Structure 1
Amino acid sequence: MSKIAINELSYSFKEYYQPIFNNINISIDTNWKLGLIGRNGRGKTTLLKLISGELEPDKGHISKDINIEYFPYSQITKYIKTLDVIKENIGLLKTMEDVMDDIIKSNDEKRFGEYQKIFDNYAYADGFNIEIRIKKEFHLMNLSESLLEQDFDTLSGGEKTKMLIISLFLRKNSFVLLDEPTNHLDIEGKQVVQNYLNHKKGFILVSHDCEFVDDVVDHIISINKSDITIEKGNYSTWIENKSKSELFEFKTKERLEREIKSLEKNAVANRKWANVANKQKNLFRPYGCNSGRGNDAGVAKLMRQAKSSERTIQKNIEEKKNLLKNYEEVSDLSISQNALEDDVLVTIEKLSFGYSNKLILNKFSLQIRHGDIIWLRGKNGTGKSTLLKLITGEIYSDCLRFQEDIKISQSYQEPLWKKGLINKLIDDNNHSTLHFKNRFLNICKCLDIKLQKFEKPIEAYSSGEIRKIDIARSLATDNDLLLLDEPLNYMDTYFKEQLEKAILIYKPTLVFVEHDENFGHSIANRTVMLDK
């Protein structure tokens, strides 16, 4: 049985003096199917990179006797055909085949030793059975074998994602780290990957999709406020246990805080009393008289008792504080929009649009009214993000009519702010006002983006934090219509609950794209299906 053992591991972002992990100890069975849970910015991706070896710990070490494979990864290869690209990604198998063929054709005896070495490596990687195994994986991933003969670059983004995941699981003696593998996959694509992972073991999965995690894992790693824990079960059992723990902490929080305050008050009183006693033992002793030794001993004893009592109180305070160490405080998010008199904000009539002679939207019509919460649905490539760009005016079409002076705010799949200091980005923002800045900072605080971190550049934040910052920007911008393009990508479960609750309470006029079915069904009052 293989293990990945993390011993006394500490790690920090030294450039920004930001500690991430401190003396972490966990042991992972490489046959487990683990889900990695934690709020944005807590270090999920950092932990994966430490396990993979991409990052080195400041202290401690990670022992492993298995190859660690990481998704996403960049595949750079000279090969074009999909089958060849997959073989190369599995372990340079296509290169091995080409070199062995070249040696055989050259009939160069000097290279026979090289041939034998490559042959042995190829056999160890199961190269002689690899095409059969690839086709088997294609079947599990619901992919047509005909794709193997296509050029890899002609495949859709979803097809490429599935094939890159297949390549990792076909690598010899591998344990796979999957960091948000379903981002940008449509609902059907997510279901296929979900079914695929149900047939696999030996991986850690990071995903914002709770249902997806729930269905495929048998253990949960949780990065909490003060520690990291592992427990057997799926996301549902973990959230149930966490809810019970947080309910207990919530019920006892005020009591514990009162007790801590009282203990701290007693500690101060004891300290003052001991100091007074120490002064008084000399205050009333006659000058030049040594007859106060008995009194001195009594006072010294009382002082020792006072100090012992203070130590006991301090220990009690720390124990009570530890009971609250992982209590998560989640603020309510608010959404504000302008009040409009005109009911119809945007009218789209018989819109046809496409790229490179490929029609995406064909005679499409839609009317967006005040109070609409419209869920744009459809498979990848049906034009959902394109339609949002047409509504914002990023792409022009004379098939759209807008209410006069309408203000539209959008959060993008690819955040608008990607580099630079946040304070400067706020000041450079076209819509920047004091109201915008204050509201933006308040929303960031609500979303657990620490204000003191604004001194570091935005590219140093986690992917989830950058997305939260982009959503905060869009919510803080004065608007009549809000557009959200896959707002839950990279997001923790707390954010999903915050956003869902806010939309249901404030009912903004909203058009959104999202592959999370529960979220979409919960908030939408209109659904528009886009088809190929």
Structure 2
Amino acid sequence: MTTISLSHLTFGYDGQGDLLFDDASFDLDTSWRLGLVGRNGRGKTTLLKLLQGKLPYQGRLTVPVPLNYFPQPIEDEDQLTLYAMQAISEAEQWQLERELNLLAVDPDVLWRPYASLSGGEQTKVRLALLFTDTTHFALIDEPTNHLDAASRAKVAAYLKLKQGFIVVSHDRHFLDAVCDHTLAIDKRKISLTQGNYSVYEAAKKQQDAAELAENAKLKKDIGRLRETAAEKGRWAATREKDKYGDPHKRGSGAIGDTGFIGARAARVMQKRKNLEHRMDKAIDDKSHLLQNIEEVAPLTIATQPDHHEVYLSVSELTLAYDGKPLFEPLSFDLHRGERLAIVGPNGSGKSSLMAALLGQFTGEVQGTVVLKSSVTISQVRQLYPDNRGLLKDFAANRQLDLEAFLNNLRKLGLERNAFATPIEQLSMGQQKKVELAKSLATPANLLIWDEPVNYLDLFNQDQLTASILAYQPTMLFVEHDQDFIAKTATRVVPLKPLNR
């Protein structure tokens, strides 16, 4: 058995406040299929970098195996895929073909330019490259982004054939299918669970429930002890006056048995001190609770329902490039209050459809798209290179309610240092939160969202789901996450591709 060992590991980025890892210690067996989970910004990718020796740290870190990392940087995306892969590795063609066959990918993709592959094909090719090297331990960082449900299932089945890796993902179904151990970077501790994500989640919910119950009991006890101690303090103070008598009556000799009164008052004061000691202990016990419970506040959505019953009508719509249709003719109406999910495999034309609905498609269009002229739209896009500059200026340039915009970012868990960092310098997860918060703060009748939960952690996904169900906005969205679709969509429209 080979073990990766971390002992008293301490690390934090300069100028970013709290430490990401503070005296962390744990061991990882390299035969495990380990899921690495945690909220955005908690240090998952940082941990992978530490394992690779890319960052300085305090403590001891023992990695007795060579490591390979996904996603690998591609040096020249215009090369044929085979040559692009061989430029960054020593993989043989037959090795790549073997792994691609296991992933149910036609090996002919090796003879196409890498840049021409779909996002899903690029992901699978790089995963195939990762596992051509059987001597290295694999670190896999978010392989499911942009993959359709069928591709996620194929990648999960592929990884189950492999022994020994660490995978970061925000797809709970994928983690359940793949992992036999889970390492969670929680709010105040790192926990290692034998089992998949659902096993970890059930254990955490049980622990959280127990802590909440204990916290409620201690809170009640502290209140009762505080009131009892106060009553005894008031009684002792009154008896202390009795010991010397009422100063207005001293001249008449109205002085009590000072010895008896004093002794009784002393006993009451001691009881009060005992109560205060018990109260201090209860408060100390309480201080150790709830530190690891995630606080996920509801988001606000600036939805503004329109008076029309039907917002959007699509009739016999087909889209094509160079005369090649992307999908079968499509017809649907979007009614006020509906949340319509567009689903289909990678490359079926979902993003092209979104562009066509917004009048931005550059290919050939047949059929009709009728959007009511009074309907206003708020978008979440897959790509947002124009999101730049400081958050305050970004909001001003887009006429956003600054308070609503920043409040949603805080609720989404954007780290404090990010508020003073230009958007283009933020991580992909942080940039996604900016794009989402922008849409949430934009007054609109209709939300058109393209893969809204990509890069969002599981807590943010649940947070977004809860807010959608609370506000009931009219939506049309593309998404591959089956859990999000099942919980939020009122209707599903499948795209049936013609090029497959």
TM-score > 0.5, shorter chain as reference: yes
| In structure 1, distance between residues paired with 2:77 and 2:45 | 29
| Residue 424 (1) aligns with residue 397 (2) | no
- Describe the SS at the equivalent of 2:413: coil
Unmatched runs of 5 consecutive residues or more in structure 2 = 231-271
CA deviation after TM superposition for structure 1 residue 395, in Å: 3.9
Q: 1:245 to 1:156 in 2, by over 3 A?
A: same
CA deviation after TM superposition for structure 1 residue 81, in Å: 4.2
* Cα deviation digits, residues 96-151 of structure 1 (max 9, x gap): xxxxxxxxxxxxxxxxxxxxxxxxxxxxxxxxxx5554333222111223334444
- Describe the SS at the equivalent of 1:409: strand
| In structure 2, distance between residues paired with 1:438 and 1:149 | 51
Given that 1:348 and 1:401 are in contact with CA atoms closer than 8 Å, whether structure 2 keeps it comes out as yes
- Describe the SS at the equivalent of 1:201: coil
Given that 1:182 and 1:207 are in contact with CA atoms closer than 8 Å, whether structure 2 keeps it comes out as yes
| Residue 68 (1) aligns with residue 78 (2) | no
What pairs up with 1:321-332 in 2 under 5 angstroms? 321-332=287-298
| Residue 24 (1) aligns with residue 41 (2) | no
Amino acid at match of 1:44: K
CA deviation after TM superposition for structure 1 residue 404, in Å: 2.3
What pairs up with 1:393-472 in 2 under 5 angstroms? 393-395=359-361, 399-415=368-384, 418-429=387-398, 431-432=399-400, 436-450=401-415, 453-459=418-424, 461-472=426-437
| In structure 1, distance between residues paired with 2:4 and 2:56 | 15
| In structure 1, distance between residues paired with 2:38 and 2:429 | 11
| Residue 201 (1) aligns with residue 163 (2) | yes
CA deviation after TM superposition for structure 1 residue 254, in Å: 3.0
Given that 1:249 and 1:324 are in contact with CA atoms closer than 8 Å, whether structure 2 keeps it comes out as yes
| Residue 378 (1) aligns with residue 344 (2) | yes
CA deviation after TM superposition for structure 1 residue 25, in Å: 1.1
| In structure 1, distance between residues paired with 2:174 and 2:489 | 21
TM-score (norm. length: structure 2): 0.82
- Describe the SS at the equivalent of 1:324: coil
Partner of 1:509: 474
Amino acid at match of 2:392: N
Partner of 1:485: 450
Q: 1:61 to 1:375 in 2, by over 3 A?
A: same
Given that 1:260 and 1:320 are in contact with CA atoms closer than 8 Å, whether structure 2 keeps it comes out as no
Q: 1:419 to 1:263 in 2, by over 3 A?
A: farther
TM-score (norm. length: structure 1): 0.77
Give the structure with the higher percent helix.
1
Given that 2:302 and 2:442 are in contact with CA atoms closer than 8 Å, whether structure 1 keeps it comes out as no
| Residue 368 (1) aligns with residue 330 (2) | no
- Describe the SS at the equivalent of 2:311: strand
Aligned length: 459
Partner of 1:178: 140
| In structure 2, distance between residues paired with 1:262 and 1:469 | 46
Amino acid at match of 1:344: V
- Describe the SS at the equivalent of 2:456: coil
- Describe the SS at the equivalent of 2:20: strand
Partner of 2:9: 9
* Cα deviation digits, residues 319-341 of structure 1 (max 9, x gap): 43122221222223343421322
Given that 2:34 and 2:165 are in contact with CA atoms closer than 8 Å, whether structure 1 keeps it comes out as yes
| In structure 2, distance between residues paired with 1:486 and 1:257 | 43
Out of 120, 125, 150, the residue aligned to residue 188 of structure 1 is 150
- Describe the SS at the equivalent of 1:13: coil
Given that 1:71 and 1:179 are in contact with CA atoms closer than 8 Å, whether structure 2 keeps it comes out as yes
Partner of 2:103: 141
CA deviation after TM superposition for structure 1 residue 187, in Å: 1.4
Given that 1:263 and 1:317 are in contact with CA atoms closer than 8 Å, whether structure 2 keeps it comes out as no
Amino acid at match of 1:175: F
- Describe the SS at the equivalent of 1:423: helix
* Cα deviation digits, residues 420-439 of structure 1 (max 9, x gap): 2212211221x32xxx2232
Partner of 1:160: 122
Partner of 2:56: 56
- Describe the SS at the equivalent of 2:45: helix
| In structure 1, distance between residues paired with 2:417 and 2:221 | 30
Partner of 2:258: none
Amino acid at match of 2:305: A
Q: 1:131 to 1:392 in 2, by over 3 A?
A: closer
- Describe the SS at the equivalent of 1:195: helix
CA deviation after TM superposition for structure 1 residue 364, in Å: 3.7
CA deviation after TM superposition for structure 1 residue 310, in Å: 9.0
What pairs up with 1:197-236 in 2 under 5 angstroms? 197-236=159-198
* Cα deviation digits, residues 488-509 of structure 1 (max 9, x gap): 1122222222222232333211
* Cα deviation digits, residues 436-461 of structure 1 (max 9, x gap): 22322332233233567522333454
Cα RMSD, aligned residues only: 3.4
Partner of 2:213: 251
| In structure 1, distance between residues paired with 2:290 and 2:75 | 48
Given that 2:340 and 2:477 are in contact with CA atoms closer than 8 Å, whether structure 1 keeps it comes out as yes
Partner of 1:276: none
Partner of 1:92: 90
Q: 1:149 to 1:463 in 2, by over 3 A?
A: closer
CA deviation after TM superposition for structure 1 residue 511, in Å: 0.4
Given that 2:300 and 2:404 are in contact with CA atoms closer than 8 Å, whether structure 1 keeps it comes out as no
Partner of 1:41: 41
Given that 2:304 and 2:445 are in contact with CA atoms closer than 8 Å, whether structure 1 keeps it comes out as yes
- Describe the SS at the equivalent of 2:356: helix
